[in-house]
Structure 1
Amino acid sequence: MDFFLLNTNLAKKSAMSKAKILVVDDDHLIRQAISFKLEKEGYTVKVANDGESALSMIENEKFDIIISDIMMPYISGFELLKILKEKGSEAPILMLTALNSENAVVKAFDLGADDYLTKPFSPNELIMRIKKLLDKK
């Protein structure tokens, strides 16, 4: 029994580290910092600098998690979230924002966000939230 649990946990850890994550943020430094941390943890990371680019990438690739900023040019994170949910996207979506307001949090969850993190945030907290979202899949 212990061997089975050990193998199950190893398989789950392996699957998590192979997860493909899309990071959508118009701030180059934020994209770069998140990508660096996620790749260091063993995730495959793709980046988009706005909602339009993200939609194009999502049409051509499957992602295990989408991390999106809210305030972006062209298509906001809220609009991106709404479009993805309307299209039936099953990838968990974690919203990132500098907006520290209850209204923004409520709106994100009303639109179907799976999690929400306010900038600035701890890279370790981001990793923990990603692991939780992957565990739910």
Structure 2
Amino acid sequence: MPGILRSPDMARKAKERLPNVAVLFTSGYTQNAIVHGGRLDSGVELLAYTREALARKIRHVLANQAQRRAAQGSQHSADEKAFKDATVLVVEDDYLIRLSTTEMLSNIGCRVKEASTAQEALKIVDEQPVDVLLTDVGLPGVSGLQLARDVQARRLDVRLVLATGDSGRKLKPRD
């Protein structure tokens, strides 16, 4: 990731602030260019770029997160809904990215709600059931990290997926 903040550092900061967040690295580099010593950091996943791989990897990351919660004595039942039946709230200010993400999630069987701002997203969370929040970190106004904190304060059971394509953004201490 170009810029001052490296991707592993951003992931570590996100996990410190939101311990239940799933971390999924995407990269245009080949796997051997970013995997050192045959390993990524514990709990971090790597994605190759295809639509099918993205769908598979998102399901995999969320399933692993559910297994970890169950192993830690989470109150979630073992017969949780399959991810394909999940209601996913996609929060992305870029229309084309939101459209393609929504289409991909719909194609794998998710019910998708859309918002372009944190304020719109919170209104949806307050009014409708949501299983997964998939948010861009770099939203205008309120950041995706703050949105994730606000959503978890309202609903502890919502699974979180944070994404960013911003290569130069430096996280501030409260992000």
TM bucket, shorter chain: 0.5 to 0.7
Paired residue for 1:75? 142
Aligned partner of 1:123 in structure 2 is: none
Matches within 5 A, 1:53-132: 53-100=120-167, 104=171
CA contact (8 A) 2:152 2:158 kept: no
Post-superposition Cα deviations, 1:27-65, rounded to whole Å, max 9, x if no partner, equal: 000110011111111111110011000000000011111
Amino acid at match of 1:82: R
Task: Check whether the contact 2:88–2:131 (CA below 8 A) recurs between aligned residues.
Answer: yes
Per-residue CA deviations over 1:76-130 (Å, capped at 9, x if unaligned) read 21221221233343211100102357x65xx7xx97xxxxxxxxxxxxxxxxxxx
TM-score (norm 1): 0.60
Letter in 2 for 1:20: T
| Structure number having the greater helix percentage | 1
Which structure is higher in RCO with an 8 Å CA cutoff and minimum separation 6? 2
Counterpart CA distance in 2 for 1:52 and 1:84 is: 11
Moved over 6 A (4+): none
Confirm whether residue 49 of structure 1 aligns to residue 116 of structure 2: yes
1:90–1:100 Cα change, 3 Å: farther
CA distance in 2, matches of 1:77, 1:54: 10
In the comparison of the two structures, how many residue pairs are matched?
Answer: 98
Q: Distance in 1 between matches of 2:83 and 2:149?
A: 26
TM-score by length of 2: 0.48
Identical pairs, percent: 26
Tell me, what secondary structure is at the counterpart of 1:89? coil
Structure 1 unmatched runs, 5+: 1-11, 112-137
Paired AA for residue 34 in structure 1:
T
- Unmatched segments (≥5 aa) in structure 2: 1-78
